[in-house]
């Protein structure tokens, strides 16, 4: 009986292990933040690459983006011209709202889709090199620059709970990196 209890306990621990999805963001060119390469882990042996780029790159418009990562593609747009604190990610029938937690504070964002919601914040208020999900009941999401002070390369530790959709994870990573990078 004791062995059966231990085996059941270990089974339930293993079943609840979270998979990692988003791994990294890297700029396509070292002198521009208009195009990004994205690395995503599908399973423990398959890594695919995707891209995120400005929709209207020639007009220097950083308010509209499009992405394609394997079977996932969609748009990320600033919802209103006069409100940089409200963004929307659309992927198929999924719509994720990305809003500032506090007006005029680009270091804290609410990510919401339907009834699911979590907040992503810069880990330290005075620097935007490292971001994290503060709600540990949703799993762990840590976003940080590969080299301190260099926003061209980002590493992501995505251990969010399995019920958090890819679109919400991508929204959190996007707004963190967007808020931390120059618009050139």
Question: How confident is the model over 113-122, as pLDDT tens digits?
Answer: 999 999 999 9
Using left for φ > 0, alpha for ψ between -120 and 50, and beta otherwise, residue 106 falls in: alpha
Task: Identify the pLDDT of residue 16.
Answer: 41
Q: What tens digit of pLDDT does each residue of 55-71 get?
A: 987 788 999 999 999 98
Q: Which of 17-21, 130-134, 155-159 has the lowest mean pLDDT?
A: 17-21
Task: Identify the pLDDT of residue 13.
Answer: 38
Task: Identify the pLDDT of residue 3.
Answer: 52
Q: With respect to residue 14, please indicate whether it lies within any of the assigned structural domains.
A: no
Q: With respect to residue 10, please indicate whether it lies within any of the assigned structural domains.
A: no
Q: With respect to residue 9, please indicate whether it lies within any of the assigned structural domains.
A: no
CA distances from 74 to 16, 18, 92, 150, 167 (A): 29, 24, 7, 27, 9
Tokens, residue 96? 């994720």
Q: With respect to residue 61, please indicate whether it lies within any of the assigned structural domains.
A: yes
Q: With respect to residue 8, please indicate whether it lies within any of the assigned structural domains.
A: no
Question: What does DSSP assign to residue 17?
Answer: P
Q: With respect to residue 149, please indicate whether it lies within any of the assigned structural domains.
A: yes
Q: With respect to residue 5, please indicate whether it lies within any of the assigned structural domains.
A: no
> Which of 176, 169, 181 shows the shortest CA–CA distance to 69?
169
Q: What is the average pLDDT across 61-88?
A: 95
Between 42 and 24, the more confident residue is 24
CA distances from 102 to 22, 86, 108, 116, 133 (A): 27, 11, 7, 19, 16
Domain span at residue 75 reads 19-180
Task: Identify the pLDDT of residue 175.
Answer: 98
Can you tell me the distance from the alpha carbon of 108 to that of 113, in angstroms, rounded to the nearest whole number?
Answer: 17
Mean pLDDT of the chain: 89
Looking up tokens 């620097």 gives 127
Say yes or no to pLDDT of 34 above 70: yes
The dihedral through the CA atoms of 165, 57, 176, 45 has a sign that is: positive
CB 33 within 8 A of CB 19: no
Q: Domain tally for the chain?
A: 1
Q: What is the average pLDDT across 120-148?
A: 93
Between 104 and 126, the more confident residue is 104
Q: With respect to residue 145, please indicate whether it lies within any of the assigned structural domains.
A: yes
């Amino acid at each position: 009986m004791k062995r059966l209890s231990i085996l059941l306990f270990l089974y339930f621990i293993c079943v609840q292990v979270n998979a990692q999805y988003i791994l990294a963001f890297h700029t396509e060119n070292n002198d521009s933040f208009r195009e990004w390469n994205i690395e995503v882990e599908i399973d423990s042996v398959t890594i695919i690459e995707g891209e995120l780029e400005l929709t209207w790159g020639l007009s220097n418009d950083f308010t509209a983006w499009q992405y394609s990562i394997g079977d996932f593609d969609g748009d990320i747009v600033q919802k209103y011209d006069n409100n940089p604190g409200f963004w929307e990610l659309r992927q198929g029938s999924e719509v994720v709202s990305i809003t500032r937690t506090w007006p005029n504070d680009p270091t804290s964002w609410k990510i919401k889709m339907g009834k699911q919601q979590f907040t992503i914040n810069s880990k330290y208020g005075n620097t935007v090199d490292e971001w994290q999900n503060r709600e540990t009941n949703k799993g762990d999401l840590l976003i940080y620059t590969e080299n301190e002070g260099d926003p061209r390369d980002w590493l992501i530790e995505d251990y969010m709970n399995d019920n958090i959709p890819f679109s919400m994870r991508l929204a959190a990573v996007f707004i963190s990196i967007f808020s931390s990078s120059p618009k050139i």
